[in-house]
Amino acid sequence: MFYADYHTHSSFSSDSSTPIEENIITAINIGLKEIAVTDHIDFDYPDPEFPFLFDYEKYACEISRLKEKYNGQIVIRTGVEIGIQPHVYGLIEELACRNYYDFIIGSTHCVDKFDLCTDEFFKGKSKHEAYAGYFKDVLNNVKNTDFFNVYGHIDFINRYGGFKDRTMDYGEFSFITDEILKTLIEKGKGIEINTSGFRYGLGHCHPQAELVKRYRELGGEIITVGSDAHVPKDIAADFDKAYHVLRKCGFKYITIFENRKPSFIKI
């Protein structure tokens, strides 16, 4: 039995057309106890076709309506996934302080103002240079912001870049990934296991087991599980694999949040 999906998207995200309610009904039907609605906010996103901004009041009102409608069937958490770029730190912190959220994911979707989904960031770079540049940006974001509860899909850079070999050798990047994980732990922040890597054909979750294990070895305890679903059929997808990774890496609990405060559920 899987307890909660803590990374889901709906039509409030520019890249989804799914009503929140459809995700919730699916979550109830498969037996989840909680679901976090974590739609995208990405200030100054470089692709104008995907502004990744939405009206918080409408968002909160819809989540409130659904909480009342499905009370007793599932716990619905008000969340958000915020894309972090250094030149919008101020806007992000203001948003996080102004609005109520149970749970906030911080993610790096853009580096040097380039959308990682396109080729621009990768031009003229070897795979090592691109991946190291991405992790350097993540480290700076982790050090310089405090608004988030967990950092999203930390190693998802290997989805992109068009490299024939998309594998990642953590030994190449441990000099910086260890610093990222240590900083997160020192600041009381967590990571997520994001199962979307399986849907992208990578054969693993984000982050891969090596990084999850290292996080635990360093003393990390806060970890959520999320599908990154943009359509209902992906709610809790591949959670059996994620839970296997958790147990293999020494975790006995997953983390849930209310009013930005973590609690732990035995797996």
DSSP E strands: which ranges in the chain?
A: 4-8, 34-41, 75-83, 103-107, 110-111, 114-115, 150-151, 190-194, 223-226, 253-258, 261-266
pLDDT per position as a tens digit, 176-201: 999 999 999 999 999 999 999 999 99
Hey, is 147 helix, strand or coil? coil
Give CA–CA dist 44/109, Å, rounded: 11
pLDDT digits (tens, 9 = 90+) for 113-126: 999 999 999 999 99
Instruction: State residue 1's pLDDT score.
Output: 73
Name the residue type at position 161. G
C-alpha to C-alpha distance for 43 and 91, rounded to whole angstroms: 8
- Using DSSP's 3-state secondary structure scheme, residue 174 falls into helix
Give residue limits of the domains in the chain. 4-266
Would you write out the chain's pLDDT as a tens digit for each of its 267 residues? 799 999 999 999 999 999 999 999 999 999 999 999 999 999 999 999 999 999 999 999 999 999 999 999 999 999 999 999 999 999 999 999 999 999 999 999 999 999 999 999 999 999 999 999 999 999 999 999 999 999 999 999 999 999 988 889 989 999 999 999 999 999 999 999 999 999 999 999 999 999 999 999 999 999 999 999 999 999 999 999 999 999 999 999 999 999 999 999 999
Q: What pLDDT, on the 0 to 100 scale, is given for residue 72?
A: 98
Extract the tokens encoding 107.
């993610």
CB-based contact 42:52 (threshold 8 Å) = yes
Q: Is the peptide bond before 207 cis (omega within 30 degrees of 0)?
A: yes
Question: What pLDDT is stored for residue 106 in this prediction?
Answer: 98
Question: Could you tell me if residue 259 is left (phi over 0), alpha (psi between -120 and 50 degrees) or otherwise beta?
Answer: left
Confidence (pLDDT) at 128 = 95
Q: Left, alpha or beta for 162 (phi > 0: left; psi -120 to 50: alpha)?
A: left
Task: Give CA–CA dist 34/23, Å, rounded.
Answer: 11
Strand, helix or coil at 67? Answer: helix
Give this prediction's pTM. Answer: 0.98
- Residue 206 phi/psi, 5-degree rounding, is -115, 120
The correct CATH number of 4-266 out of 3.40.30.10, 2.60.40.420, 3.20.20.140, 3.40.50.620 is 3.20.20.140
Measured in degrees and rounded to the nearest 5, phi and psi for residue 16 equal -140, 150
Per-residue b or e along 166-195, where b marks 16 or more CB atoms closer than 10 Å to that residue's CB: bebebeebeebbbbbbbebbeeebbbbbbb
* pLDDT number for residue 166: 87
